[in-house]
């Protein structure tokens, strides 16, 4: 899980804790604390432990994921699909109306 490494370091230094003290408080290894502060990558259990020790919600240390432009392009609703769906809907309704009119006129007259 991606977390904001600078906020972890800031929270630790505000309390005047060493990395080893934080590791002991969270029941994780010193190497894990070093990796978190350098890379910002931690397991969900480690994040929950950090949140418990610092008494903060998970959202305070979770990093916003970086999204590429290609991923965003797929997330937007393409206007061509809207036009195609609208045309298909109108065509279906018009076809149903014509069939209804034809059947009614066929059997009434």
Domain boundaries, the chain: 5-60, 71-108
Question: Model's pTM, two decimal places?
Answer: 0.58
Long-range contacts formed by 18-27: CB under 8 A, 24+ apart: 22/53, 25/53, 26/50, 26/52, 26/53
- Checking if the pLDDT of 38 tops 90, the result is yes
| Distance in angstroms between the alpha carbons of the first and the last residue of the chain | 72
Q: Which token pair is 46? A: 């480690």
Q: Which token pair is 105? A: 């006129």
Q: Which CATH number fits domain 5-60: 1.10.260.40, 1.10.10.10, 3.90.550.10, 3.40.190.10?
A: 1.10.260.40
List pLDDT tens digits, range 8-17: 999 999 999 9
Q: From CA 31, how far away is CA 8, in angstroms rounded?
A: 14
């Amino acid at each position: 899980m991606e977390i904001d490494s600078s906020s972890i370091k800031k929270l630790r230094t505000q309390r005047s804790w060493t990395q080893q003290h934080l590791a002991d408080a969270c029941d994780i290894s010193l190497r894990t604390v070093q990796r978190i502060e350098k890379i910002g990558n931690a397991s969900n259990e480690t994040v929950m432990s950090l949140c418990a020790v610092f008494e903060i919600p998970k959202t305070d240390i979770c990093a916003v994921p970086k999204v590429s432009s290609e991923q965003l392009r797929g997330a937007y609703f393409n206007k061509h699909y809207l036009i195609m769906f609208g045309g298909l809907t109108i065509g279906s309704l018009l076809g149903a109306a014509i069939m209804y009119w034809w059947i009614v006129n066929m059997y009434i007259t």
